[in-house]
């Protein structure tokens, strides 16, 4: 790119013409910088394969001379357009017509992009963020995040959106100022005085500011609520009126730096909080969390209360997980009415209907996770319930697995005897109801997932293995949020955020990249504080959620851009180097976030239930600490544990790898820790078709002299993959892998590498080709449990009604076969000792002979019998908002055009 831009001043002795300022497109006057002209000309030279810094500097001098000759001065400064015109004429005058032509074409294209951005955002001039973000990012912001008026017109800019989020989060820091905060809780203040201001919010709209940042009425409301919460714990040294006096007197303006820091994290695309935070921060709803879990006890009063609470959560922008296992089975006698129970699935339909009619913040429907534990008498109906289209469309469903079932499955007889007998029990009395075979149940689950990608499995035994909170909450975790990555107790919530790892690289002199570990630590610490602040300034939809969330202060810091990072570093995703790097990234994420949480505990206090948890005993919720050899740890875990025992920790858990479909679009990076779903994918419009290409791959193809329209179409017709294309060098085929290039067992391995160190869990789709069997799906379950995963979502290509299009062209044909990596087969050989698991996994991972190459799923007769036809699925796989194709990643359907997501966090 080689447009003229404006920015900070440089030594204007370079100019020597008396011109030291220019006029921007919006009319503002800013400093003149000749270097920017030189850089623009250099880019033009480079675009025509003639890069020359010295020539660019010389030509920029000629441009400046021409500006002076045309009579431009500080009194009559040139505009950006004037300078660009001078660049064009100078290039032509000096005989560089080819470069001038390239520059003119680019300038025209940039003008078209600017006009399109202004149309999308309803702006007459572009704000700073709009200039930097590409059009795809802005479309997502416009469709989901920017505030609108009652005519549905956008009424804020992206800059204003990020500012309102940063201001709200910055308030969380301000009330912990040493002049205001009393950690010991010895200061008694009049809470009623502060609460009285809640009745006059409009009068204080934009009346106070922190530095240059004005507090709107909803910021002011959050300030009141945060103050009230701390004052009730006797932790406010100043009265509320004294606080306002300090604000008015600019005594707290130093916190403008914190606000700016949070703002910069977001606009640099280094970090983004979950969607509800960006939708609602500084707005009327004020609800900032993505994840909620509700309880559902077996009586109508509790069922209806949970339904009502779910509606409030949906309205505020969150998603809900509910474990329905405590509801009595279908057909059981209801003593109070002498009636017959309709069963848990019927009550799921009630929540499904509520979800359908309550839009989240007026923007989209909510999402649900419906869970039934494997011992429930209705488990067989639950497993098969979603195999038909149109059933419980607003739900993901998962079967909860416990140790007793796993024991019966892997150590029981495979014969017809009772060795694998498993007893289903009454939810009410816990008495036996029906005996089944564990193998029959797992086969049923595998077949259902093979057909429809549901249910998933949640391994409650693994989730609770290192659960440091069980003692404080008097029981195990039994539910997760809608995408399964966040386990929560009833009425707990969690706010999430993701760091863009692809941004945290340093370019070397030879053009290669290396990861910036120091910057990573800095970003982790800042974003841990960011998410902790969100808890304090959040307006929770239900009082019980407020209480439970502040009791545990659970946060979920995660990542996105992993695939793009590996592309930049030229490291294959499913290689030893790839797995080692991902392990180190995961370990650092949890270590530094927990270490920062300890620092917050020292200044602000530990989470209220910390003393009742297992932290004081030296336990931590990190499997890798216990299960990985100490010589493979990269961080000083023992020192951290010692500090936790001494000072406590601010947040019960700190890390989660959540879905980032929409957030990744805003950050212009790959989703979560997933491999890319395709390197090239096709988009059809009324005038024809065009292709999206991963920018990192595009640059590599250009460097290799392989970039052309024909090559891009060839890649699209190869399921968006480079694999098996003869012209593509082998190193590129190895590095630039897609989800379908990677064997499903390597998907499990990658998830396991992250799960070793992540406190909560991982949102990950285990992609399988169309021709796997239900036995392969079952083997994936067995291997997942052996690898220590907390849950698994399997997606067989072609299985879901909302069909993922890995093959992004009608001509798409898969011309390659995928095998498990050596790291997976080595794990199987060295770690799996159970005979049944070993036999099942070995059979699934065996390389099968093929007489011909694998082709598109429609050519497989078995697949054609089970999966819906192309025509039947066409409408179902389209985005309900913009009717473009949906893709299935991280357990969610997302739209790559408008940002629609079936999940709530990303």
* Distances, alpha carbon 387 to alpha carbons 322, 830, 863, 887, in Å: 20, 37, 15, 19
For residues 744 and 413, is the Cβ–Cβ distance under 8 A?
A: no
Question: Which of 96, 143, 135 lies closest to 114 in space, CA to CA?
Answer: 135
Instruction: Specify which residues 474 forms β-bridges with.
Output: none
E-state strands within 801-878: none
The number of angstroms, rounded, from the C-alpha of 38 to the middle of its chain's C-alpha atoms is 39
Residues 6+ apart with CB under 8 A from 497: 271, 272, 273, 274, 277, 527, 530, 531, 555, 556, 557, 558
Among the options 291, 483, 494, 610, which is catalytic?
A: 483
- 485: annotated active-site residue: yes
Cis peptide before 455, with omega less than 30 degrees from 0?
yes
Residues 6+ apart with CB under 8 A from 257: 211
For residues 15 and 34, is the Cβ–Cβ distance under 8 A?
A: yes
For residues 194 and 227, is the Cβ–Cβ distance under 8 A?
A: yes
For residues 494 and 763, is the Cβ–Cβ distance under 8 A?
A: no
For residues 585 and 559, is the Cβ–Cβ distance under 8 A?
A: yes
DSSP 140-201: HHHHHTS-B-TTS-B-S-HHHHHHHHHHHHHHHHHTTSTTTB-TT--B---HHHHHGGGGGT
Among the options 88, 163, 485, 890, which is catalytic?
A: 485
Pairing assessment for the beta strands 513-515 and 505-507 based on DSSP bridges: antiparallel
Residue 731, token pair as written in the block:
């190193």
Residue 46, token pair as written in the block:
């480079």
In angstroms, the CA 862 to CA 341 distance is: 39
Among the options 467, 481, 574, 767, which is catalytic?
A: 481
For residues 299 and 306, is the Cβ–Cβ distance under 8 A?
A: no
Burial class (CB within 10 angstroms; exposed 0-12, middle 13-18, buried 19+) of 705 = exposed
Number of neighbours of residue 482 by Cβ within 10 angstroms:
31
Pairing assessment for the beta strands 688-693 and 680-685 based on DSSP bridges: antiparallel
Nearest 5°: phi and psi at 335? -60, -40
Residue 564, token pair as written in the block:
């793009």
In angstroms, the CA 83 to CA 218 distance is: 43
Name the helix (H) or strand (E) containing 440.
helix 438-452
Residue 381, token pair as written in the block:
């109906």
Residue keyed to tokens 């912001």: 141
Nearest 5°: phi and psi at 401? -110, 135
Angle CA 813–889–662, to nearest 5: 120
Residue 770, token pair as written in the block:
């169309």
The number of angstroms, rounded, from the C-alpha of 98 to the middle of its chain's C-alpha atoms is 44
Which sequence positions are flagged as catalytic?
481, 483, 485
């Amino acid at each position: 790119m080689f447009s003229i831009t404006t920015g900070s001043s440089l030594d204007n002795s370079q100019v020597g013409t008396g011109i030291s300022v220019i006029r921007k497109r919006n009319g503002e006057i800013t400093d003149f910088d000749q270097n920017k002209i030189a850089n623009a000309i250099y880019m033009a030279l480079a675009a025509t394969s003639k890069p020359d810094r010295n020539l660019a500097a010389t030509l920029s001098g000629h441009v400046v001379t021409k500006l002076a000759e045309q009579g431009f001065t500080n009194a009559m400064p040139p505009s950006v357009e004037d300078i660009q015109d001078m660049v064009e004429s100078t290039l032509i005058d000096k005989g560089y017509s080819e470069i001038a032509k390239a520059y003119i074409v680019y300038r025209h294209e940039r003008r078209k992009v600017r006009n399109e951005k202004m149309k999308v955002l309803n702006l007459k001039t572009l704000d700073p963020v709009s200039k930097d973000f590409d059009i795809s990012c802005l479309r997502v912001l416009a469709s989901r995040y920017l505030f609108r008026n009652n005519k549905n017109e956008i009424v804020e800019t992206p800059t204003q959106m990020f500012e309102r989020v940063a201001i709200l989060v910055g308030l969380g820091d301000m009330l912990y100022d040493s002049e205001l905060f009393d950690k010991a809780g010895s200061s008694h203040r009049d809470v009623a005085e502060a609460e009285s201001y809640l009745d006059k919010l409009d009068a204080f709209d934009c009346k106070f500011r922190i530095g240059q940042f004005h507090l709107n009425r909803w910021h002011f409301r959050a300030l009141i609520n945060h103050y009230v919460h701390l004052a009730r714990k006797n932790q406010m040294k100043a009265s509320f009126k004294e606080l306002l006096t300090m604000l008015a007197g600019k005594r707290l303006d130093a916190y403008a730096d914190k606000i700016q820091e949070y703002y910069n994290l977001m606009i640099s695309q280094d970090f983004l909080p979950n969607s509800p935070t960006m939708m609602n921060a500084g707005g009327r709803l004020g609800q900032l969390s993505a994840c909620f879990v509700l309880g559902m006890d077996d009586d109508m009063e509790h069922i209806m209360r949970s339904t009502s609470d779910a509606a409030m959560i949906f309205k505020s922008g969150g998603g809900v997980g509910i474990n329905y296992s405590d509801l009595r089975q279908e057909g059981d006698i209801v003593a109070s009415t002498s009636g017959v129970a309709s069963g848990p699935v019927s009550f799921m339909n009630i929540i499904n209907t509520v979800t359908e009619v309550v839009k989240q913040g007026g923007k989209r429907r909510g999402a649900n996770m419906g869970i039934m534990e494997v011992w429930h008498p209705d488990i067989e109906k639950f497993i098969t319930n979603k195999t038909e289209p149109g059933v419980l469309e607003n739900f993901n469903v998962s079967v909860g697995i416990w140790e007793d079932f796993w024991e019966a499955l892997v150590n029981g007889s495979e014969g017809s005897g009772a060795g694998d007998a498993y007893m289903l029990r009454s939810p009410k009395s816990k008495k036996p109801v029906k005996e089944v075979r564990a193998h029959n149940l797992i086969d049923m689950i595998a077949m259902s997932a093979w057909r429809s990608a549901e249910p998933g499995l949640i391994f409650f035994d693994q989730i609770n293995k290192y659960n440091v909170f069980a003692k404080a909450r008097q029981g195990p975790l039994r539910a997760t949020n809608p995408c399964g990555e966040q386990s929560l107790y009833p009425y707990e919530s969690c706010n999430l955020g993701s760091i863009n790892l692809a941004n945290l690289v340093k370019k070397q002199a030879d053009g290669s990249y290396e990861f910036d570990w120091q910057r990573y630590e800095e970003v982790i610490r800042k974003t841990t504080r960011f998410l902790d602040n969100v808890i304090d300034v959040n307006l929770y939809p239900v009082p019980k959620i407020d209480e439970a969330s502040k009791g545990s202060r659970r946060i979920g810091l995660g990542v996105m851009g992993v695939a793009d990072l590996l592309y930049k570093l030229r490291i294959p995703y499913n290689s030893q180097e790839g797995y080692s790097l991902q392990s180190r990234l995961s370990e650092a994420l949890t270590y530094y976030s927990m270490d920062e949480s300890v620092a917050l505990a020292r200044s602000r206090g530990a989470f209220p239930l910390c003393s009742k948890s297992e932290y004081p005993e030296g336990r931590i919720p990190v499997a890798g600490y216990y299960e990985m050899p100490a010589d493979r740890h990269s961080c000083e875990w023992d020192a951290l544990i010692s500090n936790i025992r001494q000072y406590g920790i601010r947040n019960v858990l700190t890390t989660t790898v959540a879905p980032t479909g929409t957030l990744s679009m805003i950050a212009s990076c790959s989703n979560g820790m997933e491999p890319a779903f395709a390197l090239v994918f096709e988009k059809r419009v009324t005038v024809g078709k065009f292709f999206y290409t991963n920018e990192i791959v595009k640059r590599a193809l250009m460097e290799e002299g392989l970039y052309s329209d024909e090559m891009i179409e060839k890649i699209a017709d190869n399921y968006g993959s480079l694999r098996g294309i003869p012209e593509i060098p082998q190193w590129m085929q190895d590095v630039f892998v897609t989800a379908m290039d990677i064997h499903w067992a390597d998907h499990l391995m990658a998830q396991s590498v992250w799960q070793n160190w992540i406190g909560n869990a991982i949102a990950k789709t285990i992609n399988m080709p169309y021709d796997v069997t239900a036995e392969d799906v079952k083997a994936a379950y067995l291997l997942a449990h052996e690898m220590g995963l907390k849950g698994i979502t399997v997606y067989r290509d072609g299985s879901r009604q909302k069909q993922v299009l890995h093959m992004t062209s009608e001509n798409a044909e898969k011309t390659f076969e995928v095998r498990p990596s050596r790291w997976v087969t080595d794990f199987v050989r060295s770690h799996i000792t159970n005979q049944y698991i070993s036999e099942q996994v070995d059979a699934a991972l065996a390389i099968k002979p093929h007489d011909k190459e694998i082709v598109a799923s429609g050519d497989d007769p078995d697949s054609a019998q089970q999966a819906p036809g192309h025509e039947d699925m066409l409408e179902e796989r389209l985005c309900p908002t913009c009717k473009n194709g949906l893709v299935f990643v991280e357990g969610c359907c997302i739209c790559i055009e408008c940002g629609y997501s079936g999940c709530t966090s990303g």
